[in-house]
Amino acid sequence: MQMPKANILAWQGISALYEASGDRDKYEQALRNLCDRYISESNLEKAWETMQKIIQLYETPQDGRKLVSILRELTAEGPYHKLLAQAEAPKETEIWERMYEVEYGCDERMIETETKKRKTRLGAGTAAQVRAEVRAEVFAQSGVLETLAGLVAKCIEYGDMEQLLTNEQRFFECLDDRLDVVEQRDAAVQQLLNLASDLVTNQRCARAYMLMIEMADNQHDKLVPLAESLITLFPDAPLVESMRLWQIDGSVDVDAASSAAKKANSPFAQMLVVVTAARAREHRRCVDAAVSTRRLLGIFEAKYGVSLPLVRQTVDLAAADAFMEIGKEHASDAEALYRSCLEADPENKRAALGLGLATCALGHLEEGQVLLRRLVETDPDNGRAWGGLGAVLLESGDAEGSIEAYQHAVSVEPETAMHHAGLGAAYWQMGGEFRTDKQYAFGSWLAAARLDATLASVFGGLGKCYAEQGDSERAKRCFVKAMSLDCTDSESGPRLADIYIRSGQDDLCEKLLVTATDAYFSLPWAWRRLGFLLLRQQEYERAVAAFQNALSANRSDCVCWEGLCEAYLGIGRIHTAVKVAQKIVDLDSSRVSGHWLSARACMQAHLVDKALGHFDQAQDCTAANDNLWKRPLAIGRAECLVALTERRFTDGLFAQAAQASFDALRVIKDIDAEFLKWSIVLSACTWLVRLQAQQHLVVSASKEIAELVQIANQQLAELKVPQYLAEITEAAALEPRVNQQHGSNVYNQLELAELAARLRVLLAESTSLASTAWTDLGYVLYAWNTQFHESTLLLEKTQPMSTALLKAAGDCAVAAIQLDTNNARTYNLQGSIATLTGDIALAQHAFIMATRNAPLSAMPWANLGFLYLNYGDVELANKAFARAQMLEPDFYAGWLGQAIIAEQLGSAECVDLYEACLLLEGASTDIADFGYAQQVWKCAVERNENANLGHSRVLAHGEQNRLLLGIYAARRFVARSNDSDGAGSYLLGMLLEQNSEYECAADAYSQALKHVSANDQRRWAILASLARAQCSAEEFAASVDTYAQAAALLEENQWDIPVTQWFGFLLGRSLSLFFAQQLEESLGMFEQVLALTESMPEQRASVGVMLAQVLWALGTDEHRQLARQHLVDTMAEHPDYSSGLATLFAIGMLSDDADLVSAAHNELSKLNIEGNHDLVRLESYLAILRNDPLLGRRSLSRALYKSPDDASLWLLTADFDVLCSRDASLPAQAALRLFKQAVRGHHSWSSAPMPSVVNSAKLQVAVSALNVQAQCSDDITCRKSAANKAIMYQPWAEYNWSMLK
């Protein structure tokens, strides 16, 4: 490369070398040097050959840009231009042509490549958007326009006109594509238009013709030659099809115009769609096309920097007219467009006319009349203006003025159908003879129809005339014709739909409404009628959609909201229906139907109280003489009261439940006898029977029941009773039942229930209702000697039934099964009756049939399980109960059955099963309540036995909750059952005593005594428990008396009492005597207890310590010496008994015996029992007695160091500080803080404590700490607050009240 360039041979060799090595850059440089050498020696032939080699190096597509730069060097401005003088070399225009082709191809490839890359990027946009962005970027960097400009200049230079036109066309198309990225845009646009004009003049380039058509701005004289040339020269051009349609004088198919516009993507073509749709009266398509046209027009005007006012005016006027035709709801859109057109052209009469009509539609009648009167004054021969004035006057209610205006319009333009149609509407509004006399409204509409048979409003008017004359068939045909012309006509559509519905042609009505909504979505009248039609056909899902579409146009339509609520109820979306019904009430609180629907929805959502409130509000909104709503409201309210009975019963509010049933009977009694709902009477009576028979509630409803019985007997007398029903009722006559166990109230209610059931049998309108009625009658007959459990669970105890009643109930079940073999409820009844009669095979068959007919119901399986359980087949019973659990996990019977099985087998799972049954909503069986409470008590006994072995007596959180739930179950059992033997009250007392609620326990024991006879051995046990509870409640005198009664009863009857019970009895009596200050008697009793410990050595230590305490309490030196000696002897036998050591420590302090105190202290220190604070407490007391607070502080500090989170230690420290007259607020606050942490998430200081901490050790710590605060705080407000909190936690503690005082 360093050799002189003059050496051609050397450069040829180097070129060959680099060619062989494949080093293209060095090869190109060597060829350029060689070419320069040839040029310097004037060897242009060789130089051109060398240049050709350089060009061939970059012939590949990816090297296009490089190739263009090399070719540019051959142009007149380049260094190698002289090479083209060779004969073999191409012309300069060919070089420019090649440059254009290469550069254009590079741009296209770049666009394709970049678009493909960017489309997959996150947030790239649509494919069209990505391509547009890439095109703009590529065109901005492209040199195609410069290349084409050079090519055109060379064509002019060489005078090649054919090639010049071809390249001008290329330049025009490229400039049009790149107009958005050129720098001097205005000049470029002008150049583009000049090129287009030149090309059109020379009949070249379809794009040039299309641009000039757009630029003609809808001027007819300019468009005619352009359209003809375009169609002739370029029949395949995109705009040709639209221009052909434009040339047609008559009506043009809108679909054809729309299809052509899609191909052209042209503002003019889209404008043609607007005009075509307007002519065809397809107003909604006209509006939609106008939106697209304005969008395209805006893009076009922005691109070329021009304005096309005539095109815009044509589109806006057509759209405004279409808006007016669609309806008044779009009048504001039309007004805006008319005003825009008038601003652009103040003399535009069409816009002025439209503005007048639009302002009228918007309610500005005076302004509309002024505009139109001004128009007719300036142009009295303007028929459209007179017609518009007539429409405005008609809208404002001036029918006479409207007739006059329309008559002017008809006189000016007699061939215009719209004027005749308007005149007909004006006559119709006048009423009277103008409607009935055919020369007026009917004649005007008929004239309009003859002039223009495409006006839907004309045929709608004729339909109204025929309907007025009573010719429904012709009216129907006219409405059909109107809807065929305009399927969205809001005048004819509703009338025709109503005709179809009245004639039962639901299919035609649905077709009409669907067609209307398909044509235009926002048609409230069509959606509303379609919704109610679908609602009647029970197509609830579609009805919901229809009502929602109707409401999207009018959110205040209460009728639509009511239909939507009904549809939601139909598909089971109950809670949504409740919200929709509430919306109706919010819109119009005086609407009876709104409250009625709200009540129905709330009933289905089990919001019974809320439903009853809506029934009451509906009643308030109903006029006194409105019989339309009086009856359904009364029936609905009665049904709601029956449902309220069930809810109150489930909640345990039995008195309120009975009152609700009574109210239902009172409400239903006031309904006319022929409309009386006996099913409600039956339900209310059965609930009253169930409540009174089980709960002994007395509800005085005799008057209402007597009246209803009288009405029922009257109806039965009027009805013809079938023979089979008469036989059943005769076999089960009412009179023999008086002597049974029911009271008069229950008898009257059952009598009315039976009468109601018999009437239901006679009045049943269908087979299914008849079967249900027979089943209800069977249940009533079955209920005479039962507790009337609808579930018919076999575990419920029943009294022996009379043969007649039992047979009658069975006959009813058979009759029901003959009518309906698929009623599981009937088979349940038959199975229950068969069980009582001992027909086990029939009972099993009936229950199995019930399972088959109700495969998803747990009730038949539970009944089958109890049947097997009663007859000892535990395995089959367990399988049946398991199936019931699987089908309905929330149904208590399956859990209860398995709990009973687990209890029989002695399984520990029975308490969990009972608890699961108890916690289920609606579980109310006495067996579950008593069983759970009993199991909880057994667990408590086991816990106490473990505590005697050294385990903690403090209940864990879960155990405390279970104890409280057991107390709840026992209370419910006592409240709901007769508790005739007192077992429930006794169990309740033991559980309450376990929870330290001693006063309540004593009350429960006293209640249990009422149910136990004097010679029953259980009476002694209950008396002993009562005495124990009284002693714990600090009622010591009463406790001593109760113990004495128990002892006297035992002595009188000489019952054998187990040793452990006798030991507990004597120990409790000893303690009650001790606390009652009867120390000598207590000492004697303790000696007896101590003697019993010979056979109970585990109790000897505790009894010995208590005996020593009694001896010390007697106070004499002799007794205290005996106490000391007895305690020392006891501790010699039981050296690890901490209570004994603590007692020795206390005796040592009281007797000032330092040796005894030291010895007891050392022994207590050795025990190191976790959580035992006896040593710390005694050390603090010793420090106080010795007046050495530092000693007590050190002991407390050591304990707190080991257990800083022990609230009781902090409380002990607070008590010590109080005794030492020191500030105790800090340790008291620490105790309270630990208490808060212990119950965090379950407790608020602003409310009472949760049940799990009531009477617990934690709560006692908190109360004591609060009392410390109330006693020692310097702030009186803080002291009062602490005392109030203590009272809130333990209101029964007198000390808390004294602290507040």
Mind listing the pLDDT tens digit for each residue in 655-713? 788 788 778 777 777 776 555 676 777 777 777 766 665 544 544 556 666 767 766 66
Residue 768 pLDDT > 80, yes or no? no
Sequence-separated (6 or more) residues with CB below 8 Å from residue 669: 704, 707, 708, 711
**CA geometry: angle at 40 spanning 36 and 45, to 5°?**
75
**DSSP letter assigned to residue 955:** P
Q: What is the pLDDT of residue 1270?
A: 54
pLDDT tens readout for residues 730-748: 544 443 444 344 445 555 6
Helix (H) or strand (E) holding 399: helix 399-412
Band of the pLDDT at 167, cuts 50, 70, 90?
confident
The pairs formed by 1048-1051 with CB atoms below 8 angstroms and a separation of 24 or more are: 1049/1014, 1049/1019, 1049/1020, 1049/1023, 1050/1020
| Separation between Cα atoms, residue 32 and residue 41, nearest integer Å | 14
Band of the pLDDT at 1223, cuts 50, 70, 90?
low
Q: What are phi and psi of 154, to 5 degrees?
A: -70, -35
Helix 456-468 × helix 472-485 angle, to 10°: 170
Residue 935 pLDDT > 80, yes or no? yes
**DSSP letter assigned to residue 890:** T
Band of the pLDDT at 1301, cuts 50, 70, 90?
low
Q: What is the pLDDT of residue 1245?
A: 35
Helix (H) or strand (E) holding 89: none
What would the two tokens of residue 584 be? 């109706």
Which of 244-248, 317-321, 653-657, 1102-1106 has the lowest average pLDDT?
Answer: 653-657
Q: What is the pLDDT of residue 1269?
A: 56
Closest CA to 47 of 84, 1, 98, 96: 84
Q: What is the pLDDT of residue 1250?
A: 40
What is the three-state SS of 59-79? CCHHHHHHHHHHHHCCCCCCC
* DSSP string for residues in 585-651: HHH-TT-HHHHHHHHHHHHHTT-HHHHHHHHHHHHHHS-TT-HHHHHHHHHHHHHHHHHHHHHHHHT
- Contact assessment for residue 200 and residue 293, using Cβ atoms and an 8 Å cutoff: no
Residue 166's CB: how many other CB atoms inside 10 A? Answer: 17
When the pLDDT of each residue in the chain is averaged and rounded to a whole number, the result is 78
Q: What is the pLDDT of residue 267?
A: 92
Q: What is the pLDDT of residue 1246?
A: 34
Q: What is the pLDDT of residue 739?
A: 37
Closest CA to 591 of 632, 622, 630: 622
Which single residue is written with the structure tokens 């520990």?
908
| Separation between Cα atoms, residue 174 and residue 172, nearest integer Å | 6
User: Which 3 state secondary structure label does DSSP give 696?
Assistant: coil
Q: What is the pLDDT of residue 800?
A: 47
Sequence-separated (6 or more) residues with CB below 8 Å from residue 654: 648, 691, 695, 697, 975, 976
What is the CA 1152 to chain-centroid distance, rounded? 76
Which single residue is written with the structure tokens 């005016």?
313
What would the two tokens of residue 1050 be? 């035992």
| Separation between Cα atoms, residue 925 and residue 677, nearest integer Å | 30
- Contact assessment for residue 977 and residue 1237, using Cβ atoms and an 8 Å cutoff: no
Q: Exposed, middle or buried, 845 (CB in 10 Å: 0-12/13-18/19+)?
A: middle
Amino acid in position 181: V
- Contact assessment for residue 1059 and residue 1093, using Cβ atoms and an 8 Å cutoff: no
Residue 960 pLDDT > 80, yes or no? no
* DSSP string for residues in 831-851: HHHHHHHT-HHHHHHHHHHHH
| Separation between Cα atoms, residue 540 and residue 547, nearest integer Å | 10
Q: What is the pLDDT of residue 691?
A: 67
Band of the pLDDT at 513, cuts 50, 70, 90?
confident
What would the two tokens of residue 632 be? 């359904």
Amino acid in position 656: Q
| Separation between Cα atoms, residue 782 and residue 791, nearest integer Å | 12
Closest CA to 677 of 770, 619, 756, 750: 756
Residue 6 pLDDT > 80, yes or no? no
Return the sign of the alpha-carbon dihedral for residues 319, 325, 328, 329.
negative
pLDDT tens readout for residues 774-799: 777 777 777 665 544 444 444 444 44
Band of the pLDDT at 964, cuts 50, 70, 90?
confident
- Cα distance from N-terminal residue to C-terminal residue, the chain: 118
Express as a percent the part of the chain with pLDDT over 70.
80
Q: Exposed, middle or buried, 231 (CB in 10 Å: 0-12/13-18/19+)?
A: middle
Q: What is the pLDDT of residue 1224?
A: 67
Amino acid in position 648: R
Closest CA to 571 of 593, 544, 537: 544
Sequence-separated (6 or more) residues with CB below 8 Å from residue 1062: 1092
**Length of the chain counted residue by residue:** 1301
Closest CA to 1079 of 1119, 1045, 1117: 1119
- Max CA pair span of the chain: 157
Q: What is the pLDDT of residue 702?
A: 63
Half-sphere exposure of 153 (CA within 13 A, CB side): 9
Radius of gyration of the chain (CA): 53
* DSSP string for residues in 854-866: STT-SHHHHHHHH
pLDDT tens readout for residues 290-301: 999 999 989 888
| Separation between Cα atoms, residue 1144 and residue 1154, nearest integer Å | 11
Residue 765 pLDDT > 60, yes or no? no
Closest CA to 914 of 868, 871, 970: 970
- Contact assessment for residue 536 and residue 507, using Cβ atoms and an 8 Å cutoff: no
| Separation between Cα atoms, residue 220 and residue 228, nearest integer Å | 12
User: Which 3 state secondary structure label does DSSP give 874?
Assistant: helix
User: Which 3 state secondary structure label does DSSP give 697?
Assistant: coil
- Contact assessment for residue 569 and residue 601, using Cβ atoms and an 8 Å cutoff: yes
Which of 23-37, 465-479, 670-684, 961-975 has the lowest average pLDDT?
Answer: 670-684
Which single residue is written with the structure tokens 């719209």?
418
C-alpha distances (whole Å) from 962 to each of 652, 763, 974, 1249, 1259 are 20, 52, 18, 17, 18
Residue 985 pLDDT > 50, yes or no? yes
Residue 1219 pLDDT > 80, yes or no? no
Amino acid in position 709: V
Return the sign of the alpha-carbon dihedral for residues 602, 603, 609, 613.
positive
| Separation between Cα atoms, residue 817 and residue 1190, nearest integer Å | 90
**CA geometry: angle at 475 spanning 471 and 479, to 5°?**
175
Q: What is the pLDDT of residue 400?
A: 85
Closest CA to 35 of 51, 55, 19, 16: 51
C-alpha distances (whole Å) from 397 to each of 358, 427, 432 are 16, 12, 16
Half-sphere exposure of 104 (CA within 13 A, CB side): 17
Burial 586-602 (b: 16+ CB within 10 A, else e): eeeeebbbbbbbbbbbb
Q: What is the pLDDT of residue 11?
A: 82
